[in-house]
Amino acid sequence: MTITHLKRALKFRFYPTDAQAAELSRTFGCVRLVYNKALEAWTTHQARVTYNTTSAMLTAWKKSKELAFLCEVSCVPLQQALRHLQEAFSNFWQKRARYPRFKSKKRSRDSAEYTRSAFRYRDGRLTLAKMAEPLDIVWSRPLPEGQSPSTVTVSRDAVGRWFVSMLCDDPTVQPLPVLDTAVDIDAGITSLVTLSTGEKISNPKHERRDRERLAKAQRELARKAKGSNNREKARCEVARVHARIADRRRDFLHKLTTRLVHENQVVVIEDLTVRSLLKNRKLARAISDASWSELRTMLEYKCAWYGRELITVDRWFPSSKLCSACGTLCDNMSLNVRQWECDCGAVHDRDVNAARNILAAGLAVAACGDGVRPQRSTPGGRSSVKQEVVPPQRSRAAAQPRG
């Protein structure tokens, strides 16, 4: 019997030689060109275009005089670009994503995907197609013992750093021992999250800490003439500050979510619409810095990895205005009220009280089953609860983080 393990993408930084960098740059450009031409074909044709159709188009493009340079790079990344486009359209037709957009040379991430037929991995050395030497990879951690990558994705960020992501089976990721603990996570700005246990985890505010440095870099960029080498240097400095902020934020969220998943069997969160919240001009910058969407994404796939249960409570549940002691619902409560006293005499911290209410609602939904909407409100209140559970049996491939 074949044992299937969780597929996990491990990302490493590498330093290419001049010849390798030139080859990869050509590949990135060809991938972008093929993707855009195929997207144009999908858009202009009346009938639905399939992957086989665009693959035949790619063969014809290579034979043409204008696009003969497509034969100079590996054909696998070009074919993978067509498959990615087909997947993008499938997501669009099933209303899971927007209509695919054309790749921009300046705004899109440079990347190319290689399958097994286009690379060789032996003794910890990775050699891509059309290259004579292996990549100089900084192995920050070893690959799972006895495993080799099934797919390799090479990318370059806006700063000019090179990364390689290897997708392989990881037998080390197994469900953790079952616990009898549960926790709710109430996302915030001053405190990044408030737990139902009363613990508040402060928001590191990575963007605010580097705001002056970022503003200075952006002012320098604005002063440079367009198209000049100095402007390119200034653009790289701005990208470097953004990358520093994103790296530190991602590292903090990884440590936080790993700790929460390891310590609790059930994790309850609120179903926030971050896209709508970002329309608030006064709070948009702080909400973006908190990165609530990335926090939820990490919790989802880590709960699926380690056999935990993730429950989301409907965004309309009045968690802040509901007394966790007696169930009384306040009529109005502005955002500047951080502590309040109920008629029953209980004094609540706004965030801690909300976390406890969300935890109780999530556990009630999990106990009652799907579709149950318990009501705990006074007249005029909205307190419906929606269940959205990420079970341990969820497809592990779908739970993979990108990048």
CA–CA distance, 185 with 355 (Å, rounded to integer): 6
Look up residue 72 and give its DSSP letter: G
Phi, psi dihedral angles at 207 (to 5 degrees): -65, -40
With residue 241 as reference, give the H or E element that holds it: helix 229-263
Cβ-proximal residues to 120 (8 Å cutoff; 6+ apart), any chain: 126, 127
- The residue assigned the tokens 């990869």 is 24
Q: Is residue 191 packed enough to be buried (19+ CB in 10 Å), middle (13-18) or exposed (0-12)? A: middle
Q: What residue type is 325 in one-letter code?
A: A
Provide the 10 A C-beta neighbour count for residue 226: 5
CA–CA distance, 122 with 115 (Å, rounded to integer): 15
With residue 94 as reference, give the H or E element that holds it: none
Q: Which residues are paired to 155 by β-bridges?
A: 111, 163
- The residue assigned the tokens 């139902």 is 196
- The residue assigned the tokens 């079970």 is 391
With residue 297 as reference, give the H or E element that holds it: helix 292-306
CA–CA distance, 310 with 205 (Å, rounded to integer): 26
List active site positions.
Answer: 186, 270, 351
With residue 222 as reference, give the H or E element that holds it: helix 211-223
CA–CA distance, 7 with 313 (Å, rounded to integer): 29
Cβ-proximal residues to 227 (8 Å cutoff; 6+ apart), any chain: none
Beta strand 266-270 with 309-313: parallel, antiparallel or unpaired?
A: parallel
With residue 220 as reference, give the H or E element that holds it: helix 211-223
